[in-house]
Amino acid sequence: MQHSILFANSDRLRPPAGHYSHTCTAAGLVFVSGQLPVDVNGTPMTDQPFERQAGQVLANVDACLEAAGTDRSRLVQVRIYVTDMNSWPAFNQIYADWIGDVRPARVVAGVASLHFRSLLEIEAVALAPA
């Protein structure tokens, strides 16, 4: 049995600057590429406080999920990379407010640095639309 692979980019985000898509759908799953705190115009928000960066990253994840025809209620795994684990409690609250009652599997990893000197990056996997 052959499975198709669909690539999608959100019209609510700047097109990818590299050789990738915002999302790739395959085998019933939507894979969301790592999202950084970059606004709709493609401007990195690295001069903004952690909380603003986190809100932008989550909005970008929402835009990607929407482009693939799904939403955060269908998330099965979320991976969060932060450059300062001291920011984790603040992020955990922002994330809890954003995700609500949904409880996907989750990874939190402290990393030395991220592109644009961002404070966090998120990638995710969700169920594709039925």
pLDDT in tens, 39-63: 999 999 999 999 999 999 999 999 9
Asked if residue 32 lies in contact with residue 129, where contact means CB atoms within 8 angstroms, the answer is: no
Residues in the chain predicted with pLDDT less than 50, given as ranges, are 1
pTM confidence score = 0.95
pLDDT of residue 130: 79
pLDDT of residue 17: 86
Asked if residue 114 lies in contact with residue 50, where contact means CB atoms within 8 angstroms, the answer is: no
Spatial strand order of the sheet with 120-127 comes to 5-8, 23-26, 29-35, 120-127, 75-82, 105-110
Give me 51's structure tokens.
Answer: 């909380």
Give me 127's structure tokens.
Answer: 């169920």
- Residue 43's identity, in one-letter code, is T
pLDDT of residue 24: 97
Question: What gap in Å lies between CA 53 and CA 25, rounded to an integer?
Answer: 26
pLDDT of residue 2: 58
- Under DSSP, the state recorded for 14 is P
Q: What is the dihedral of CA 88, 93, 98, 99, to 10 degrees?
A: 80
